[in-house]
Structure 1
Amino acid sequence: MRDLKILKEREACMLFQTCENDSGNGWIGGNAPAYFDDKSELFREIGSDYHFYLCFVNPLDKNNMFSVFIPKEYENRISKNIYPNCSLYVFEHPVSKESLDSTYTEFGIVKHYISEGIFASEEQAFETPFLIKFGGNPFHIQEEEYYYIELEKDGYCFLCQIDEDGYPSGLFHSGTSLPFGFGAVYLYAFVTENTVKNPIVGYWQYS
């Protein structure tokens, strides 16, 4: 695992945007990774209908990627948007190609690829539109401690955020609402001396 200092020193981060060509770093919209073709039991255990949102390669471990799934119904997102009852799920799994199966596909989103990451200081990140900010510190829409205090008590650290301000034009079909009300999703994980484990969606905020 490399570049763990962006999760420990918190002075720099990696920024990801969308792009037209496949950079090998994942995608937003489209079908879920083929890894989930035989994993229907994951969602039966959750007990709700889910859409695939996006996936991206773990910049600290190029053999694995993170996939985020969101409840199909907005009410199921907004009613459970904070740890320990956040209804969004992230799974870390081996890198996988896009499935041919559209079971989890959200057809309101036009598939875009995720770009290669660029290193940036926290100051640069604050001035640069991004889809994903990995490492550094969270940029909150609502500066309320209750969003993260229980996470930190339980030993979780900020991992990355997915920001709707970084959506490109043309990502959504006409009439499709933004999944998070022009907001942001915040992922947390346990950060040890040489690895990151047990990633979860800690909370999401909206404007």
Structure 2
Amino acid sequence: MENTNNILVERKESIIYQLDKNNVGNGWIGGNAPAYFDDKGELLSEIGSDYNFYLCFVNPLDKNNMISIFIPKEYENRVSKNRYPNCSLQVFEHPISIESLDSTYTEFGIVKHYISEGLFVSEEKAFETPFFIKFGGNPFLIQEEKYYYEELEKNGYDFLCQIDEDGYPSGLFHSGTSLPFGFGAVYLYAIVTEDSIKNPIVGYWQYS
């Protein structure tokens, strides 16, 4: 991919994504989990029925793979374990997949929206532009405390992307549904090289 060095090494640029209700793009939020998980009960056995599917998006470094995130149904189970090494949010990288017909892990409070095609922007532009996902570059933190990321970096993890609730469009949630992260942001980390990522995880999430 062009600009990979600028995104993950020099971190001068990032890719930003928005949400759209109608145009199929690089994944989706809400709706059913990817069909990949239909016969992968062993992957989900650890999280079980206490989790909902949150979103999935195509890995821009490898268009054959997607990254899916599952979150605890109960807010208390999210906020009590909100950072590495005990973050309760679960990430899976897997082959690209269509949406399942199985609603086992569906969060019905979210109206399914699609994740747009990505747009390469400078870090300055990303800071000025509302986004839903920011891939690469540097994290825009809500809370600047080092304890969120010190141990991650010590163990070889680098920032991969963030999912920002400031980028939710109107109409994404049914009336009375609370925002999953208290109007916050989720920060994914991974073992990052110039042209690939390994072992993506949710490093932490923060709320305002």
Classify the secondary structure of the residue corresponding to 1:194.
Answer: coil
- What do residues 56-79 of structure 1 show as CA deviations (whole Å, max 9, x unaligned)? 001111111100110011111000
Q: Which amino acid aligns with 2:68?
A: S
**Matched-pair contact (CA < 8 Å) for 2:8–2:194:** no
**Counterpart residue number, 1:4:** 4
- 1:176-195 equivalences in 2 (<5 Å): 176-195=177-196
**Counterpart residue number, 2:122:** 121
TM value normalised by structure 2: 0.96
- 1:14-93 equivalences in 2 (<5 Å): 14-46=15-47, 49-93=50-94
TM value normalised by structure 1: 0.96
1:3 Cα deviation after fit: 3.7
1:22 Cα deviation after fit: 3.5
Q: Which amino acid aligns with 2:51?
A: Y
Q: Which deviates the most, 26-35 or 44-53?
A: 44-53
Q: Which amino acid aligns with 1:83?
A: Y
The aligned length equals: 207
**Counterpart residue number, 1:200:** 201
Residues 117, 193 of structure 1: alpha-carbon distance in 2 compared, 3 angstrom cutoff: closer
**Matched-pair contact (CA < 8 Å) for 2:21–2:112:** no
User: What fraction of aligned residue pairs are identical, expressed as a percent?
Assistant: 81
Q: Which amino acid aligns with 2:4?
A: L
| Root-mean-square deviation over aligned CA pairs | 1.2
Q: Which deviates the most, 188-197 or 41-50?
A: 41-50
Q: Distance in 2 between matches of 1:18 and 1:193?
A: 27
Q: Which amino acid aligns with 1:60?
A: L
Q: Which deviates the most, 194-203 or 15-24?
A: 15-24
1:19 Cα deviation after fit: 1.4
List gaps (5 residues or longer) in structure 2: none
List gaps (5 residues or longer) in structure 1: none
Residues 22, 94 of structure 1: alpha-carbon distance in 2 compared, 3 angstrom cutoff: farther
- What do residues 10-68 of structure 1 show as CA deviations (whole Å, max 9, x unaligned)? 00000000113343300010000000111122222246611000000011111111001
- What do residues 146-175 of structure 1 show as CA deviations (whole Å, max 9, x unaligned)? 000000000000000000000000000000
Q: Distance in 2 between matches of 1:40 and 1:57?
A: 22
